[in-house]
Amino acid sequence: MTRRTEWPDDPGRPERPDRPDSGAPSLSRAEQGPPPGPEEQARAICLRLLTGTPRTRKQLADALRTRGIPDDAAQEVLSRFEDVGLIDDAAFAEAWVESRHHSRGLARRALARELRTKGVDSTLIDDAVGQLDADQEEQTARELVERKVRATRGLDREKRIRRLAGMLARKGYSEGLALRVVRRALEEEGEDTELLEYHLPEL
């Protein structure tokens, strides 16, 4: 007959503890030290937000305010981060213009609008979008239309014009530039562009 062993009632074996005991005494809340102050919290939040992607001072300030960090502590930490180069709105704006123009084909007007929403100073915005000269902007607009024009074949002239010009308008290109670029593209397609300006949407 097999003898059944029972835990923990078997008197010949030690009783198992409910949780493994590391042997280290547990620290009380007081012994663990005081909670971090607002500046320490602000530093930790900023470092976490800056990991992997740059941000503007305003974006970080908004994040600190949302998390309840007092303004004086937030401004102190943000200024310190600027001093050591962890926050650089000028570099942010330049990188934003470079990236968004090449990846999305955005014009200077649209890029400036995006940077304003991120709290970049107007002087820094002007400097950043100044990287793009008129010739480069027009060349990008032509490339955008060249890629899009093939998809409009078979549509009537007015619809083609509105679709192409509207695409450029959404990306921030001026009416004059859109008119010139769309006219050239449609002429190359063999379209009659005499009445193009009457079909161009408001930009």
For residue 41, pLDDT over 60 is answered with yes
DSSP 173-197: --HHHHHHHHHHHHHHTT---TTHH
- What is the pLDDT at residue 161? 86
Query: Over the stretch 71-125, which tens digit does the pLDDT of each residue have?
Result: 999 999 999 999 999 999 999 999 999 999 999 999 999 999 999 999 999 999 9
- Which is higher by pLDDT, 76 or 10? 76
Query: Over the stretch 163-196, which tens digit does the pLDDT of each residue have?
Result: 899 999 999 999 889 989 998 988 887 766 565 5
The mean pLDDT of 22-36, rounded to a whole number, is: 59
DSSP 16-78: PPSS---SPPPPPTTTT-PPPPHHHHHHHHHHHHHSSS---HHHHHHHHHHTT--HHHHHHHH
pTM listed for this prediction: 0.74
Q: What is the 3-state secondary structure (H, E, C) of 106-155?
A: CCHHHHHHHHHHCCCCHHHHHHHHCCCCHHHHHHHHHHHHHHHHHHHCCC
Whether 39 contacts 77, CB under 8 Å? yes
What's the rounded Cα separation, in Å, for the pair 200 and 161? 6
Question: What backbone phi and psi angles, to 5 degrees, belong to 38?
Answer: -60, -35
What confidence tier does 162 reach under pLDDT thresholds 50, 70, 90? confident
For residue 9, pLDDT over 50 is answered with no
For residue 7, pLDDT over 50 is answered with no
For residue 57, pLDDT over 90 is answered with yes
For residue 136, pLDDT over 50 is answered with yes
What's the rounded Cα separation, in Å, for the pair 138 and 177? 7
- What is the pLDDT at residue 51? 94
Query: Element (H or E) spanning 169, and its range?
Result: helix 157-170
For residue 29, pLDDT over 80 is answered with no
Whether 140 contacts 171, CB under 8 Å? no
For residue 197, pLDDT over 70 is answered with no
- What is the pLDDT at residue 31? 57
